[in-house]
Copies of this chain bind each other. A is one copy, B any other.
Amino acid sequence: MARPSRRKSDRRISRTERRVDLSWLRTVAGFSLRMLDLRMMKSYSERIAETRLTPAAATVVLVVDGNPGVSLGKLADALLIKRPNMTKLVKRLEARGLIRRRAAADDKRSISVALTAAGQRQAKRLRVLQDVQDNFALANLSHSERFQLMMLISRILETLDAEDRV
């Protein structure tokens, strides 16, 4: 299939407007995945703009929704976020009335987090937006291709997760 659409900067190509050659880097999986993630994040960020949540905050809301009462530390570990940074993130969400924090019953050091009613409404909306976003980004892929992609991703993650084990 031809690709008639072009960036507007291509209307007139002079010697100073030639493209930057990224051909070699595009064959590097790490680079291509990075570019894909940047694009996806930008697109997702715009998609959830109506919720006034950053992508990281949106993920916290979704995980807490599925794990009410989870401790702040486990939440941080699961999302690869350091505890000091999770503290700030959760406090922002608490200030917006989406999350409530309380001391855990069995360990007074531990903070147990859960969504408020408003947080649950946000989570519901976010799930819809996630679904819309995935369908938009993967529109070119068949169901079987989407499945392949997810399998490949999880197999790479297995390799990388093994690196962190003792």
A40 within 8 A of B: yes
Residues of A1-39 whose CB lies within 8 A of B: 5-8, 15-16, 19-22, 24-39
A152 → chain B closest CB, angstroms:
5
Write the chain B residue with the least CB distance to A3.
Answer: B158
Contacts of A110 in B (CB 8 A): 16
Q: In the bound complex, do residue A138 and residue B34 qualify as a contact, i.e. CB atoms below 8 Å apart?
A: no
Write the chain B residue with the least CB distance to A160.
Answer: B39
CA–CA, A31 to B137, complex, Å?
12
A66 within 8 A of B: yes
A58 → chain B closest CB, angstroms:
10
Residues of A107-166 whose CB lies within 8 A of B: 107, 110, 130, 133-134, 136-141, 145-146, 148-150, 152-166
Write the chain B residue with the least CB distance to A40.
Answer: B30
Q: In the bound complex, do residue B148 and residue A148 qualify as a contact, i.e. CB atoms below 8 Å apart?
A: yes
CA–CA, A148 to B35, complex, Å?
17
A48 → chain B closest CB, angstroms:
10
